[in-house]
């Protein structure tokens, strides 16, 4: 039995929520290991839609332990609001099924305020963040100013942490001509919420070690996508954390051996939210058609996603960086009815053909995709549950993607419903 990490191989929004939910039935523990509540997952279970952003997808499945690891930055108010929403939908959420790492850094109102202020000040040069404080919270973490979940149990420590944090933040706010934050107000807010958060706080590295020793299956759930990784993504138009598979161990307090199978979630076309390069982006009716048919709107922000053809160069690159063993190909049905499809197979950079996306942002902006045209299909793939249900040209499209990205398809999703899935290789079976 393997422990599995699920990561996005594009810019996020690949359909990880459904796949993680599908896999969580086979798992005992589901772990979030990076990111914040800027990354949303939508689950559709028995006709009920659940929208998650802070909590692991396993929380909607009874009998599973959900863990928010130390690599996550957590907005405690957002978490409590999400818990109440789930409870209203009939989901049980308590410390028996949810644990928060005591060393997870918290997102505070001062982070949200700074995030929004900087994006506004940047104007046309904005990064395109969700404005939820994730970046500033990670900055405080690496700057050794953060308030961590376990600190909520120590009011005296909170005072010291907040004072040190505000020396930094209030200087920035003054520089932007904005009102400074009052430390006493922030401390009061934290002391008020502490009794509601602390029951969930635990040494999750120890919990996970015991789970592994007991032979329990662990599913590590990534947020966003590899192209938003702070090191390996389209920098600076990235998130503030490592979104690749290697972070699963670091962000949960486990050794590298804890990750045994890497499943890359891959959309059958390409989308991105926010600013930054997007070589295969479409600005025509085809792009609009894909967006409308695929309901491409952000779970958290509601923003329309930019849409384009499948970019095999990018996915091959992210599969390599993640050490991906297999991909879960999603939203194939969105391409139903299209006469022809294009796939990016290489780039042209100033007249030179290259097989990867350069790290330099200037070069990223100049690359032009080189396409291969494939035949489309008129039949529906929606709801298919076996290869026999798929049109021959759809299978050819899948096989060509496998060749180009040099990674096999382990799972194929054909609708938002969890059972509309074709299993090629069970990641937990190794």
Residue 356 appears among annotated catalytic residues: no
The CA distance from 32 to 56, in Å, is: 6
pTM, rounded to two decimals: 0.92
Between the alpha carbon of residue 63 and those of residues 101, 258, 276, the distances in Å are 20, 22, 41
**DSSP structural state of residue 218:** E
Per-residue pLDDT tens for 58-102? 898 888 999 999 999 999 999 999 999 999 999 999 999 999 999
CB atoms within 10 A of CB 19: 23
- Quick one: CA torsion of 110, 115, 116, 119, rounded to 10 degrees? 160
Q: How far is CA 260 from the centre of its chain?
A: 20
Outline where 176-294 has alpha helix (H).
183-197, 204-213, 247-250, 285-293
Residues 6 or more apart in contact with residue 165 via CB below 8 angstroms? 108, 110, 140, 145, 146, 147
Residue 168 appears among annotated catalytic residues: no
Does residue 8 surpass a pLDDT of 80? Answer: yes
Q: Which of 21, 28, 37, 41 is catalytic?
A: 41
Q: Which residues pair with 318 in a beta bridge?
A: none
The CA distance from 358 to 197, in Å, is: 43
Burial of 164 (0-12, 13-18, 19+ CB in 10 A): middle
Per-residue pLDDT tens for 140-172? 999 999 999 999 999 999 999 999 999 999 998
Q: Provide the pLDDT for residue 15.
A: 87
The CA distance from 66 to 291, in Å, is: 32
Q: Provide the pLDDT for residue 273.
A: 87
Q: Which of 13, 229, 311, 333 is catalytic?
A: 13
Residues 6 or more apart in contact with residue 350 via CB below 8 angstroms? 366
The CA distance from 40 to 244, in Å, is: 17
Q: Which of 396, 365, 393, 388 is nearest to 377 (CA)?
A: 393
CB atoms within 10 A of CB 234: 22
Per-residue pLDDT tens for 201-243? 999 999 999 999 999 999 999 989 999 999 999 999 999 999 9
């Amino acid at each position: 039995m393997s422990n599995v990490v699920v990561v996005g191989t594009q810019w996020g929004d690949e359909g990880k929520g459904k796949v993680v939910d599908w896999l969580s039935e086979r798992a005992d523990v589901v772990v979030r290991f990076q990111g914040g509540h800027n990354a949303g997952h939508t689950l559709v279970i028995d006709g009920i839609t659940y929208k998650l952003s802070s909590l692991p997808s396993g929380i909607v499945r009874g009998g599973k332990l959900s863990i928010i690891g130390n690599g996550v930055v957590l907005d405690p108010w957002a978490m409590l609001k999400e818990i109440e929403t789930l409870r209203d939908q009939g989901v049980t959420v308590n410390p028996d099924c949810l644990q928060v790492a005591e060393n997870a850094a918290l997102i505070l109102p001062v982070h949200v305020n700074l995030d929004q202020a900087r994006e506004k000040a940047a104007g046309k040069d904005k990064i395109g963040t969700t404005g939820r404080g994730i970046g500033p919270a990670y900055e405080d973490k690496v700057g050794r100013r953060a308030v961590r979940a376990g600190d909520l149990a120590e009011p005296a420590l909170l005072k010291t942490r907040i004072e040190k944090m505000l020396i930094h933040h209030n200087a920035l706010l003054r520089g932007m001509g904005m009102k400074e934050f009052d430390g006493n107000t922030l401390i009061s807010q934290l002391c008020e919420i502490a009794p509601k958060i602390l029951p969930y706080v635990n040494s999750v590295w120890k919990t996970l070690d015991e789970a592994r020793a007991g032979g329990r299956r662990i599913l590590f759930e990534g947020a966003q996508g590899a192209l938003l990784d702070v090191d390996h993504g389209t920098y600076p138009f990235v998130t503030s954390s490592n979104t690749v598979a290697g972070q699963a161990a670091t962000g949960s307090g486990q050794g590298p051996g804890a990750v045994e199978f890497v499943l890359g979630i891959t959309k059958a076309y390409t989308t991105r939210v926010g600013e930054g390069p997007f070589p295969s982006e479409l600005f025509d009716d085809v792009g609009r058609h894909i967006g409308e048919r695929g309901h491409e709107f952000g779970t958290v922000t509601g923003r329309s996603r930019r849409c384009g053809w499948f970019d095999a160069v990018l996915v091959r690159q992210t599969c390599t960086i993640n050490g991906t063993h297999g991909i879960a190909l999603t939203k194939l049905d969105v391409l139903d009815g299209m006469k022809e499809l294009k796939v990016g197979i290489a780039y042209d950079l100033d007249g030179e053909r290259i097989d990867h996306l350069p790290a330099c942002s200037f070069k990223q902006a100049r690359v032009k995709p080189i396409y291969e045209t494939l035949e489309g299909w008129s039949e529906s793939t929606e709801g298919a549950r076996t290869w026999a249900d798929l049109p021959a040209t759809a299978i050819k499209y899948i096989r060509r993607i496998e060749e180009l990205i040099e990674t096999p398809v382990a799972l194929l999703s054909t609708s938002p419903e969890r059972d509309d899935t074709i299993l090629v290789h069970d990641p937990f079976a190794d």
